[in-house]
Amino acid sequence: MAEVVERGVLTASGEAWAVAVRRAEVIGPLALRARVGVDAVDNAAAAPVAAG
C-alpha cells in the first residue's frame, strides 16, 4: 500500500513501482497516438511484459 509522507510525496513498495513502470511501458505508445483502435489495445493488453 502506498503512503503519503508529506504533501505531494507518495511512497510505494518496489513491487508496486515495478508494476506501474510495466503498465506505463504498455500505455505510453498508445497514448502517443491520436486514435487507438480496439485491435491495438487488445494486442497491447495481450503482449507479454518483462518482469522487473
pTM above 0.75, yes or no: no
Position with higher pLDDT, 24 vs 1: 24
Per-residue pLDDT tens for 8-45?
777 788 888 888 888 898 899 999 999 999 999 998 88
CA dihedral 14, 15, 17, 19 (to 10 degrees): 160
Which residue, 5, 21, 3, 22, is CA-closest to 13?
3
